């Protein structure tokens, strides 16, 4: 079937070899297996040393995904910082204006935290999708907080405007509490020596002392006279309150003028029927005369309020 030479050990001579077809098939199969193994080895070695275009593209996309994930995490940290600042500001406004805790609108992070705990078992695409969803949710929450904060600031601004329209300070700068005179109630008139109804508070001080508006408002009337309460300014605060400043030596405002808390309206004097230089100050709410000392809550602490009230109540004679 084929040619070849074999050595005959018995005769010590070379003879022509003869093999059947199976011998050559077996031999060819061995060569095929050997070549296949070599090819696999060469391919594996080539793959380890050299990367193809598809692999390079996959690696590039993987690095881009990692960078995008890092950016999203940084955005999340930034948004969380903004939310903390908004919550702090919201709490400060509620405490200063409303003296209460703000309503609770906490971010619902429990699902996100649980997701992060299991992130090592989730593929990168899912991780990015979840992070993006959380960022969108955080941005929505931030918009909601900004709208809420805007409403709170508006309410605070309106409330502050309302508060500043309530008489709340002493109408004479650096006033000395021992110089407090008679307050509202039945007092003895300094000239007629009869018991009359005193409608305001006497604040004793030297002539020429500055008199200031105790709240925001509009000058309702300006009166100049040497009788009764003398030179007088009346301010309408637009919320049921009016304040009067009497016995002035000079008037610094005019009718219809808008004034703010602390605006100078005049100077202390002795105009009108008066026993000594002082300011006769009145607080009127819905037509009723109030005790002005009760409205000095901005300038007086509890001990000062008690001292001023005791002096005023125990002063039996008014100065006008």
Instruction: Tell me the per-residue pLDDT of 93-137, one tens digit each, with 9 for 90 and over.
Output: 656 555 556 555 444 444 545 544 554 555 556 656 666 677 777
> What does the pLDDT read at residue 12?
58
74 with 140, same domain: the answer is yes
233 with 160, same domain: the answer is no
> What does the pLDDT read at residue 195?
92
pLDDT at 77 over 70: yes
Give the global pTM: 0.54
> Could you identify the residue written with the tokens 């705990």?
117
Domain total for the chain?
3
267 with 283, same domain: the answer is yes
* Spatial distance between the Cα atoms of 3 and 17, rounded to a whole number of angstroms: 6
296 with 249, same domain: the answer is yes
274 with 216, same domain: the answer is yes
* Spatial distance between the Cα atoms of 229 and 150, rounded to a whole number of angstroms: 47
pLDDT at 282 over 80: yes
pLDDT at 20 over 80: no
* Spatial distance between the Cα atoms of 202 and 268, rounded to a whole number of angstroms: 11
* Spatial distance between the Cα atoms of 93 and 233, rounded to a whole number of angstroms: 36
Least confidently predicted of 68-72, 199-203, 225-229, 264-268: 68-72
> What does the pLDDT read at residue 164?
80
> What does the pLDDT read at residue 204?
95
Residue 202: give the domain boundaries: 177-313
Mean pLDDT of 256-261: 95
Mean pLDDT of 66-84: 74
263 with 281, same domain: the answer is yes
């Amino acid at each position: 079937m084929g040619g070849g030479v074999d050595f005959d050990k018995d005769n010590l001579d070379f003879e022509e070899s003869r093999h059947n077809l199976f011998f050559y098939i077996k031999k060819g199969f061995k060569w095929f297996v050997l070549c296949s193994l070599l090819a696999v080895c060469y391919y594996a070695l080539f793959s380890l040393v050299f990367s193809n275009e598809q692999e390079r593209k996959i690696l590039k996309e993987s690095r881009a995904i990692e960078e995008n994930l890092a950016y999203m995490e940084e955005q999340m940290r930034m948004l969380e910082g903004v939310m903390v600042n908004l919550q702090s500001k919201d709490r400060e406004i509620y405490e200063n204006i409303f003296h209460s805790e703000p309503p609770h609108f906490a971010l619902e992070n429990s699902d996100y935290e649980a997701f992060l705990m299991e992130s090592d078992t989730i593929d990168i695409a899912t991780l990015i999708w979840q992070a993006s969803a959380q960022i969108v949710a955080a941005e929505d929450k931030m918009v909601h907080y900004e709208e809420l904060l805007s409403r709170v600031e508006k309410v605070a601004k309106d409330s502050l405007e309302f508060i500043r329209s309530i008489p709340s300070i002493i109408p004479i700068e650096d006033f000395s509490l021992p110089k407090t005179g008679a307050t509202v109630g039945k007092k003895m008139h300094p000239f007629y020596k009869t018991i009359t109804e005193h409608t305001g508070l006497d604040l004793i001080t030297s002539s020429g002392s500055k008199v200031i508006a105790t709240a925001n408002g509009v000058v309702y009337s300006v009166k100049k006279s040497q009788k009764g309460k003398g030179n007088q300014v009346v301010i309408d605060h637009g919320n049921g309150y009016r304040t009067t400043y009497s016995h002035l030596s000079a008037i610094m405002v005019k009718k219809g003028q808008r004034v703010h808390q602390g605006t100078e309206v005049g100077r202390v004097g002795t105009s009108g029927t008066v026993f000594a230089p002082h300011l006769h100050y009145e607080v009127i709410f819905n037509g009723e005369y109030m005790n002005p000392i009760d409205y000095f809550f901005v300038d007086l602490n509890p001990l000062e309020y008690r001292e001023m009230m005791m002096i005023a109540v125990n002063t039996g004679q008014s100065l006008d």
